[in-house]
């Protein structure tokens, strides 16, 4: 039931504060992650993990890309991320102390399941699933499971599944990091920041009107670029995927530092450039990337917090986001991009909940 909402996608975007909270519930105190909440075997299985191999498709793959930044930064454990459809068809090396982590909303994605089964033959320490559907094949075939509590996701374009995956991945990262020397203080700082996320997402949802207005500048465009740096690069990828899926506008994401290595040639007034720029240690570098775009007549749409100090000017539209911790920023910054693509699609009159050619669950190759 869509309730008061015009589309399932919009309803699901608005459910995020609640389902992010539900995904944390019973798994964290005010200051730390309860390891046993990740499964009675978790302590044991995470003990000697020396490498994490993440496998997923589509939006779930983007969640894995964000997690890689967290796992290497906080746990200091090397992490690789690959789309399942590639992984399953190449020869790979899996060390026995590897944690094999599959991320899937449905738990039925054929490529992801095939990758897991193949990796099992090669041997690894344990298989962890981050999944939204209890009793799914992925859940049944994994040693450890962290369920996301997003509830059924009806819209084909994934929204609340993604932000709850990120929440679960951050909890997992902290549990792994504790075994690898993360201090109690740092853990407490991040858990406290995570507790603030549902409220911050609510604040972003309140920007809906501003974002809807911005969306009008996209409806007659054929292409868009999305830029981010660090853990916001996968957020940009997810933003580009959402726009492609539901508005049929071609969109590409780039890590902003790659601009001058090619895509800058595309920039002109017909190529809107969307940027996610929280106030992290890359903000200064990002600003010079933005200058490169502006100097070529590109129109910029920036989501940033006040401290990033990016001023609106001709051709620079800025929507100010709440101040967020650098680690939790990818969760919060995803939301305005979901709203942007939603509004562009509504303006274009496409079928938001059932985009052409796509199925909710990809159970065939």
Instruction: Name the residues annotated as catalytic.
Output: 360
Give the chain's length: 365
User: Considering only 101-109, 202-210, 263-271, 292-300, which stretch makes contact with ligand F6R by CB under 6 A?
Assistant: 101-109
Q: Minimum distance between the CB of residue 238 and ligand F6R, rounded to whole angstroms?
A: 8
- Which three-class secondary structure state does DSSP give residue 316? strand
Return the residue of 23, 137, 158, 232 that touches ligand F6R, per CB under 6 A.
158
353 contributes a contact to ligand F6R by CB under 6 A: no
Contacts of 353 (CB under 8 A, 6+ apart): 7, 8, 9, 154, 155, 156
| Number of amino acids touching ligand F6R (CB under 6 A) | 15
Q: Minimum distance between the CB of residue 334 and ligand F6R, rounded to whole angstroms?
A: 12
CB 168 within 8 A of CB 56: no
Nearest alpha-carbon partner for 60 in 142, 144, 123, 153: 153
339 contributes a contact to ligand F6R by CB under 6 A: no
User: Considering only 17-25, 42-50, 52-60, 213-221, which stretch makes contact with ligand F6R by CB under 6 A?
Assistant: 52-60
- Bridge partners, 350 (sequence order): none
CB 167 within 8 A of CB 24: yes
Q: What distance in Å separates the CA atoms of residue 94 and residue 192, rounded to the nearest whole number?
A: 35
- Which three-class secondary structure state does DSSP give residue 299? coil
* 326: DSSP letter: T
Residue nearest to ligand F6R (CB): 58
User: Considering only 100-108, 176-184, 190-198, 302-310, which stretch makes contact with ligand F6R by CB under 6 A?
Assistant: 100-108
Region of 83 (left: φ > 0; alpha: ψ -120 to 50; beta: rest) is: beta
Instruction: Kindly tell me which of 13 and 74 has the beta carbon lying closer to ligand F6R.
Output: 13
> Longest Cα pair distance anywhere in the chain, in angstroms?
58
Return the residue of 28, 79, 129, 157 that touches ligand F6R, per CB under 6 A.
157
- DSSP character string of 89-135: TS-----TTEEEEEEESSS--HHHHHHHHHHHHH--SEEEEEESSTT
CB 200 within 8 A of CB 296: no
- Which three-class secondary structure state does DSSP give residue 332? helix
Instruction: Kindly tell me which of 56 and 182 has the beta carbon lying closer to ligand F6R.
Output: 56
Q: Minimum distance between the CB of residue 241 and ligand F6R, rounded to whole angstroms?
A: 6
Return the residue of 16, 23, 53, 60 that touches ligand F6R, per CB under 6 A.
60
Q: Interaction with ligand F6R in 236-255: which residues (CB under 6 A)?
A: 241, 245
Q: Minimum distance between the CB of residue 109 and ligand F6R, rounded to whole angstroms?
A: 3
355 contributes a contact to ligand F6R by CB under 6 A: no
Return the residue of 16, 53, 109, 338 that touches ligand F6R, per CB under 6 A.
109
Q: Minimum distance between the CB of residue 360 and ligand F6R, rounded to whole angstroms?
A: 7
* 322: DSSP letter: P
- Bridge partners, 93 (sequence order): none
Q: Minimum distance between the CB of residue 317 and ligand F6R, rounded to whole angstroms?
A: 25
Which stretches of the chain bind ligand F6R, using CB under 6 A? 57-60, 104-106, 109, 112, 157-158, 241, 245, 361-362
């Amino acid at each position: 039931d869509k309730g008061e909402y015009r589309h399932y996608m919009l309803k699901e975007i608005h459910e995020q504060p609640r389902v992010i909270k539900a995904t944390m519930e019973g798994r964290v105190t005010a200051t730390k992650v309860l390891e046993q909440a990740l499964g009675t075997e978790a302590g044991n299985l995470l003990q000697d993990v020396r490498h994490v191999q993440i496998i997923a498709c589509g939006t779930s793959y983007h969640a894995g890309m964000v997690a890689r930044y967290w796992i290497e930064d906080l746990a200091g454990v090397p992490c690789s991320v690959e789309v399942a459809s590639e992984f399953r068809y190449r020869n790979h090396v899996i060390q026995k102390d590897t944690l094999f982590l599959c991320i899937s909303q449905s738990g039925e994605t054929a490529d992801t399941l095939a990758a897991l089964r193949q990796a099992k033959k090669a041997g690894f320490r344990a298989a962890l699933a981050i999944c939204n559907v209890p009793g799914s094949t992925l859940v049944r075939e994994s040693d450890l499971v962290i369920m996301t509590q997003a509830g059924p996701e009806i819209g084909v374009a994934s929204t609340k599944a993604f932000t709850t995956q990120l929440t679960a991945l951050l909890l997992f990262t902290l549990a792994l990091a504790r075994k690898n020397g993360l201090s109690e203080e740092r853990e407490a700082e991040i858990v406290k920041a995570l507790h603030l996320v549902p409220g911050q997402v609510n604040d972003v949802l309140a920007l809906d009107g501003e974002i809807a207005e911005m969306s009008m500048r996209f409806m007659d465009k054929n292409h868009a670029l999305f830029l981010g740096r660090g853990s916001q690069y996968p957020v940009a990828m997810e933003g580009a995927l959402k726009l492609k899926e539901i508005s049929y506008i071609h969109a590409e994401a780039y890590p902003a530092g790659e601009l001058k290595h090619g895509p800058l040639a595309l920039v002109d007034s017909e190529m809107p450039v969307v940027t996610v720029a929280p106030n992290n240690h890359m903000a200064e570098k990002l600003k010079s990337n933005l200058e490169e775009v502006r100097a070529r007549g590109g129109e910029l749409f920036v989501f940033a917090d006040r401290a990033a100090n990016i001023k609106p000017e001709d051709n620079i539209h800025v929507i100010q986001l709440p101040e967020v911790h650098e680690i939790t920023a990818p969760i919060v910054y995803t939301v305005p991009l979901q709203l942007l693509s939603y509004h562009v699609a509504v303006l274009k009159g496409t079928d938001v909940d059932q985009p052409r050619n796509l199925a909710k669950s990809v159970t065939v190759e």
